[in-house]
Each structure stands twice: as structure tokens, then as C-alpha cells.
């Protein structure tokens, strides 16, 4: 299985340094620069970090509710898992109906309040933000599962003791919940982080090729130009992911 | 007061999780003039129709992509279990440090970007006649699911007390009969979780599917193609049938989808 993953990666690196006639070249990478490589990398990083933060916040919110006892808890925990069963493509389509360049459901809502509609894709940050929202909707459940498991592992007594000492809810969250959740947050970020970086179907459907991110760039090159150029773009992704992985291992080793 | 806050939060999150699905259902069952054709579509049902669904299923080929998705996902789940159980058992027997190193390597495999591997694999698959085939796609998706399955199973097996195995050995069980008669029944919830997560991953998978199986696409890819061609109603209708069974499955098997399995490597 390792061969299955590493051989093709090596082959992609190899392909990226050759022309389609099989001559060694660095031109593929030079050519990438014409496709706004730096902007693309920037977009990808913004998207990855933003989406991870959003998911983490939502997951912390949902799980701090679910960890309590209240009527309707089962209902909420059932509902909170539903997006997991919804395919990414389906989520992307649904959100594309909600956020449109003109009209759409989000704008209907603004309309009800007497506001005028917004073009949800009028600049790249807003477009990326829409992708973040859609992605967070889809992936909050898996984050929640992990964070919730972590929250259950924290002894309740700690909270009672802190409450007796006069710590308010925010203080308790910062000083008890967060430090005890560190490992779980790390696992959640590792599991989600790399797949976040490889996010593909959502942006492809929601925003197409502009603003471009690394995966959609590689795909558009794959379907329009040579394999070699697409491989070069893929190698850029590989480099970034490798850095992420190295970071993960380093952090993981400290645990 | 405190409870009020919990309920307000619960309601906000409920809305957040359900509204997109509501919109999907709204579009699928409303006449197009109230949904896709109006600039500011109403947020409630103004009319009810089944004609969108009828139209989509009679005019477009839906059953083949559906079956392809189903077979690929099932194959992915089965392979993940068949290979994952021995691998997970082996890892759970290794000393902690060594097992940890193995798991890190496995997870790295899991992290290799789909696009990076898919492009060279597509070249090889054309040579091997695996391109566009069910086993081919399943094998490639295994790249992502198998490490995760092994990770989950390793965690589950490690949680089984060593004394259970010693006792079984004393009673004369071989490794194979220990696995099939003791360990697998005991660890069944974890195994189900590993199967489910693999199955659901494959059902949802898009990157490999669009690159390696574009001619006879799986359902997500078919939905994407329909969107590209502007058949949005068909895409919505397909999405609905694509989603409902999995949501039902998720809800039924909810108890197996636990964070503990995903956090398998975390040492408490």
C-alpha cells in the first residue's frame, strides 16, 4: 500500500520536471507562475486556516451544549450528525442555491428585512468565505464527534471545584476545558487539516476556477494542458502537505 | 437562565444544520418557477410538485451511477475490513513506540493529496485496463480509507484487555480462532465503525472518482456533470435520492459513529 501511494507521488515529481517530449526542464514551474501561482497559494492557505477555525469554533459550541444534560439532547445530537451523511457534492449544490451572484435564498432573507441583495462572490475573500461556510457545515459533525469525546473524558468534578472557587463559565472554559482538550483538538485538526488542504469538489462547484486554489488549478491544468504541467501544480500541493505532515509529526511527538 | 442559554444555542445549531437540507427539499418538490426561475425564491412551499423528480428519473440515467457508487463503496468497505483487521491486530500487539511509528507512516499515506496521486495513477490504470472500472476506483479509494480503518481498528483492539487473550490461549485457541471467536465479536462496534466510515468516505469521494472514472461516473460525479450542463433540477433530484438513504443509515447506526474511534491513537 505504501508503494501505491509513494510510487505515484514520486512519478508526479518526476513528470513535473520533464516536457511532454521527455526532456528535462524547469519550464513547467516557470509556466505555473503565469497562472497566478502565488495568489493561488495564498487563497489555499486562507481557505484552509479559515475553514479549520470556523469548524473548530462550531464544534466547540455544539459539544459544549451536548455535554450537558437537558431535554431534547438526543434530538440535537442526532441532528448534529446529519451533515456527515450528506455528500460533499450535494452540500456544494445546496449552498450554491443559497448564495448566488444575484438573488438566491440568502438574498431572499435579506429582502425580507428590507435590505438589498448582495453578490456573494463579488471579491475573492467573500467567495472563499462562502466555501468556508459550506465546508464547515459539512465537516463540523466529524470535528464535533472528536471534541465531544474529549469533553466527556474531562472529570466533571473539576468544574464543580472551579465553580466553588468562584470561576465563571468563561474562565472555566479557558482554564479547564481547553487545556484538557488539547490532544483531541490536535487529533481533530490533523484529521481535518490535511483534507482541508486538499479540498476540491466544494470550491470546484461553488466558485469554479476563480478565485483559484491549488487543487482546482491542478485539475484545470490536467483537463486542458499536459500532464507534466498538472504534475508540477500537484507537486506544489505535495510540498505544502509534506510541510503540514512534518509539523503534525513534530507536534505529535511532543504529546 | 443557564438552561435558557443552552436551549438558545441548541436551537441555533439545529437551524444551522437543517436549513441547507430544507432548501434542498424545497427546490426538489416545488415548481421551478418558485425556486430556480425566480430571482428571490420564497423560503416556504408555495406549491408542491413531484414533476421535477419524475422528469429527472425518466430523462436522465440515474440507476447506473447509483449502482456504481454503491458497488464501489461496498467493495471499499469490505477490503478495508479484510485488510484492516489483521493489520490492526498486528499493530495492537506491537510495543507502543513501534506501533506509533507505523501509524504515523500510515496516516501520511492517508494524507497524500488525491490530485497528486490520481494523475499518475490514471496513466498506469489505462495500461492495466483498470481505468473507469469498479475495482480500480475501489483500490485507489482504499489509499485513504485503509489507513483510517487500521487506525480505528488498532485503537479498538488495543482497548481489549490482554488477559482476555491470555485466557483464550490457555484454553487452547490458535491466533485465528482467537481472532474469529473472541476478538472480532468483542470489538464488533469498532469494526462496524471502520466499515461505515470507509463506506461513507467512498460514497462521498469525488477527486479520484472524477479523474479515474469519468466515463461511467459515480453518483457524485454524475451530479457534478449535470450541474455543469445546467440540468440543475436533475442534479437536485439526484442529490436528494443520493442523500436520504445515507442520512437514514447514519441515524440508524449513530451509536457506532463515535469520536473515541477516530481518536483511537490518543493515550488517555
Q: A63 and A183, same structural domain?
A: yes
Res A208 pLDDT > 80: no
Rounded Cα distance between A88 and B219, Å, is 12
**Which of B13, B239, B266 shows the shortest C-beta gap to A90?**
B239
B26, B84, B112: which to substitute to probe chain A, counting the most A Cβ within 10 Å?
B112
Q: Considering the domain boundaries, does residue A64 fall inside one?
A: yes
Q: Which domain holds residue A230?
A: 1-34+225-255
Write phi, then psi, for A73 (nearest 5 degrees): -60, -45
Direct distance between the N- and C-terminal alpha carbons of chain A, in angstroms, rounded to an integer: 28
Rounded Cα distance between B20 and B25, Å, is 9
Share of chain A above pLDDT 90, in %: 3
B41 near A104, Cβ under 8 Å? Answer: yes
User: CA distances (Å), A148 to each of A60, A62, A184, A188, B192, in order?
Assistant: 8, 9, 9, 11, 20
ipTM, two decimals, is 0.77
Q: A50 and A24, same structural domain?
A: no
* Cβ-based neighbours of B234, under 8 Å, separated by 6 or more: B55, B56, B59, B60, B226
Rounded Cα distance between A214 and A218, Å, is 6
Q: What is the DSSP letter of A104?
A: S
Q: Do B139 and A80 touch (CB under 8 A)?
A: no
B112 near B143, Cβ under 8 Å? Answer: yes
Q: Considering the domain boundaries, does residue A20 fall inside one?
A: yes
CA dihedral B119, B120, B126, B127 (to 10 degrees): 180
Q: Residue A30 in 3-state DSSP?
A: helix
Rounded mean pLDDT, B26-46:
74
pLDDT at site A159: 81
Number of Cα atoms under 13 Å in the Cβ half of residue A77: 21
Length of chain A in terms of residues written: 255
pLDDT in tens, A32-67: 666 777 788 888 888 888 999 999 999 998 888 888
**Which of B13, B116, B203 shows the shortest C-beta gap to A12?**
B116
Q: Do B223 and A1 touch (CB under 8 A)?
A: no
Joined together, the cell numbers standing for residue A120 give: 456573494
Rounded Cα distance between B34 and B27, Å, is 8
Q: What is the DSSP letter of B62?
A: -
Q: Considering the domain boundaries, does residue A141 fall inside one?
A: yes
A8 near B140, Cβ under 8 Å? Answer: no
Share of chain A above pLDDT 70, in %: 80
pLDDT at site A255: 43
Q: Which of A218, A242, A235, A223 is nearest to A16 (CA)?
A: A235
Q: A192 and A145, same structural domain?
A: yes
pLDDT in tens, A148-179: 888 888 888 888 888 888 777 778 888 888 88
Q: A145 and A70, same structural domain?
A: yes
Q: Which of B258, B234, B256, B189 is nearest to B65 (CA)?
A: B234
Q: A240 and A145, same structural domain?
A: no
pLDDT in tens, A108-141: 787 778 777 777 777 788 888 888 888 899 888 8
Q: A3 and A67, same structural domain?
A: no
A198 vs B contacts (CB less than 8 Å): 113-115, 207
Highest mean pLDDT among A10-19, A20-29, A77-86, B73-82: B73-82
Number of Cα atoms under 13 Å in the Cβ half of residue A78: 10
Q: Considering the domain boundaries, does residue A53 fall inside one?
A: yes
Q: Considering the domain boundaries, does residue A106 fall inside one?
A: no
Rounded Cα distance between B115 and B121, Å, is 10
Res B75 pLDDT > 90: yes
Residue of B nearest to A70 (CA): B3
Q: A180 and A149, same structural domain?
A: yes
Q: Do B263 and A187 touch (CB under 8 A)?
A: yes
Q: Do A81 and B257 touch (CB under 8 A)?
A: yes
Question: Is B1 near chain A, with CB under 8 Å?
Answer: no
Q: A151 and A245, same structural domain?
A: no
Q: Considering the domain boundaries, does residue A220 fall inside one?
A: no
Q: Helices B114-128 and A2-16, interaxial angle, to 10°?
A: 100
Q: Considering the domain boundaries, does residue A156 fall inside one?
A: yes
**A156 preceded by a cis bond (ω within 30 of 0):** no
Q: A208 and A175, same structural domain?
A: yes
Rounded mean pLDDT, B68-79:
91
The larger pLDDT score, comparing residue B224 to residue B39, is at B224
Q: Do B120 and A111 touch (CB under 8 A)?
A: no
CA dihedral B27, B29, B33, B36 (to 10 degrees): 20
Q: Which of A237, A247, A245 is nearest to A199 (CA)?
A: A237
Res B153 pLDDT > 90: no
pLDDT at site B74: 92
B220 vs A contacts (CB less than 8 Å): 87-90, 201
Stretch 96-125 of chain A: residues touching chain B, C-beta under 8 Å:
96-98, 102-105, 107-109, 111-112, 117
Q: Considering the domain boundaries, does residue A59 fall inside one?
A: yes
Question: Is B40 near chain A, with CB under 8 Å?
Answer: yes
Q: Which of A225, A202, A203 is nearest to A213 (CA)?
A: A203
B84 near B194, Cβ under 8 Å? Answer: yes
Q: A241 and A126, same structural domain?
A: no
Rounded Cα distance between B213 and B73, Å, is 14
Residue of B nearest to A151 (CA): B259
Rounded mean pLDDT, B98-109:
74
As a whole number, the mean pLDDT across chain B is 80
Question: Is B174 near chain A, with CB under 8 Å?
Answer: no
Q: How confident is the model at residue B79 (pLDDT cuts 50, 70, 90)?
A: very high
Stretch 44-103 of chain B: residues touching chain A, C-beta under 8 Å:
none
Residue of B nearest to A153 (CA): B268
Write phi, then psi, for A22 (nearest 5 degrees): 90, 20
A108 CA to chain B: closest CA distance, Å?
5
Q: A153 and A76, same structural domain?
A: yes
Res B268 pLDDT > 50: no
Residue of B nearest to A194 (CA): B111
Residue of B nearest to A100 (CA): B39
Residue of A nearest to B28 (CA): A94
Direct distance between the N- and C-terminal alpha carbons of chain B, in angstroms, rounded to an integer: 34
Domains (ranges, CATH) in chain B?
A: 2-49 (no CATH), 61-262 (1.10.3720.10)
B219 near B65, Cβ under 8 Å? Answer: yes
Question: Total structural domains in chain A?
Answer: 2
Q: Which of B223, B248, B250 is nearest to B237 (CA)?
A: B223
B143 CA to chain A: closest CA distance, Å?
7
Q: A137 and A194, same structural domain?
A: yes
Rounded Cα distance between B10 and B133, Å, is 45
* Cβ-based neighbours of A86, under 8 Å, separated by 6 or more: A138, B20, B21, B243, B246, B247
CATH of the domain at A193: 1.10.3720.10
B206 near B221, Cβ under 8 Å? Answer: yes
Q: Do B113 and A197 touch (CB under 8 A)?
A: yes
pLDDT at site B267: 41
Q: Do A5 and B115 touch (CB under 8 A)?
A: no
Q: What is the DSSP letter of B255?
A: G
Amino acid at each position: 500500500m505504501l508503494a501505491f501511494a509513494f510510487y505515484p507521488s514520486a512519478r508526479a515529481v518526476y513528470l513535473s520536471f520533464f516536457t511532454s517530449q521527455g526532456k528535462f526542464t524547469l519550464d513547467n514551474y516557470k509556466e505555473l507562475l503565469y497562472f497566478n501561482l502565488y495568489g493561488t497559494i495564498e487563497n489555499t492557505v486562507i481557505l484552509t486556516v479559515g475553514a479549520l477555525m470556523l469548524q473548530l469554533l462550531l464544534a466547540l459550541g455544539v459539544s459544549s451544549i451536548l455535554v450537558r444534560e437537558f431535554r431534547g439532547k438526543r434530538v440535537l445530537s442526532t441532528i448534529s450528525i446529519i451533515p456527515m451523511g450528506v455528500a460533499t457534492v450535494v452540500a456544494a449544490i445546496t449552498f450554491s442555491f443559497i448564495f448566488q451572484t444575484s438573488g438566491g435564498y440568502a438574498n431572499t432573507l435579506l429582502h425580507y428585512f428590507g435590505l438589498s441583495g448582495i453578490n456573494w462572490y463579488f471579491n475573492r475573500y467573500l467567495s472563499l468565505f462562502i466555501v468556508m461556510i459550506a465546508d464547515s457545515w459539512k465537516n463540523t459533525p466529524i470535528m464535533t464527534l472528536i471534541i465531544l469525546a474529549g469533553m466527556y473524558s474531562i472529570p466533571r468534578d473539576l468544574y464543580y471545584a472551579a465553580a466553588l472557587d468562584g470561576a465563571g463559565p468563561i474562565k472555566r472554559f479557558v482554564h479547564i476545558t481547553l487545556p484538557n482538550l488539547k490532544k483531541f483538538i490536535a487529533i481533530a485538526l490533523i484529521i481535518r487539516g490535511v483534507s482541508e488542504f486538499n479540498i476540491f469538489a466544494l470550491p470546484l462547484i461553488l466558485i469554479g476556477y476563480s478565485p483559484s486554489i491549488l487543487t482546482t488549478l491542478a485539475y484545470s491544468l490536467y483537463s486542458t494542458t499536459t500532464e507534466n504541467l498538472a504534475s508540477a501544480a500537484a507537486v506544489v500541493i505535495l510540498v505544502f502537505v509534506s510541510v503540514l505532515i512534518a509539523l503534525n509529526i513534530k507536534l505529535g511527538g511532543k504529546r | 437562565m443557564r438552561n435558557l442559554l443552552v436551549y438558545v444555542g441548541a436551537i441555533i445549531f439545529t437551524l444551522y444544520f437543517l436549513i441547507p437540507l430544507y432548501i434542498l427539499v424545497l427546490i426538489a418538490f416545488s415548481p421551478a418557477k418558485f425556486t430556480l426561475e425566480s430571482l428571490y425564491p420564497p423560503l416556504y412551499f408555495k406549491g408542491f410538485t413531484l414533476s421535477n423528480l419524475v422528469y429527472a428519473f425518466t430523462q436522465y440515467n440515474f440507476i447506473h451511477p447509483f449502482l456504481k457508487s454503491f458497488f464501489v463503496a461496498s467493495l471499499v468497505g469490505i477490503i478495508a475490513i479484510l485488510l484492516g483487521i489483521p493489520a490492526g491486530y498486528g499493530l495492537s500487539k506491537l510495543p507502543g513506540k513501534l506501533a506509533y511509528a507505523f501509524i504515523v507512516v500510515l496516516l501520511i499515506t492517508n494524507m497524500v493529496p488525491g490530485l497528486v496521486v490520481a494523475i499518475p495513477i490514471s496513466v498506469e490504470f489505462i495500461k492495466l485496463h483498470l481505468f473507469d472500472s469498479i475495482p480500480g476506483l475501489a483500490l485507489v479509494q482504499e489509499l485513504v480509507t485503509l489507513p483510517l480503518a487500521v487506525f480505528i481498528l488498532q485503537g479498538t483492539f488495543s482497548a481489549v484487555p490482554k488477559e482476555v487473550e491470555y485466557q483464550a490461549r490457555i484454553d487452547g485457541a490458535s491466533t485465528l480462532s482467537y481472532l474469529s471467536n473472541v476478538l472480532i465479536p468483542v470489538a464488533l462496534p469498532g469494526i462496524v465503525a471502520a466499515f461505515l466510515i470507509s463506506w461513507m468516505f467512498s460514497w462521498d469521494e469525488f477527486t479520484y472518482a472524477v479523474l479515474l472514472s469519468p466515463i461511467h461516473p459515480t453518483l457524485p460525479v454524475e451530479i457534478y456533470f449535470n450541474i455543469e450542463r445546467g440540468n440543475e433540477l436533475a442534479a437536485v433530484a439526484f442529490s436528494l435520492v443520493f442523500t436520504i438513504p445515507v442520512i437514514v443509515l447514519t441515524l440508524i447506526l449513530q451509536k457506532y459513529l463515535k469520536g473515541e474511534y477516530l481518536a483511537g491513537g490518543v493515550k488517555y
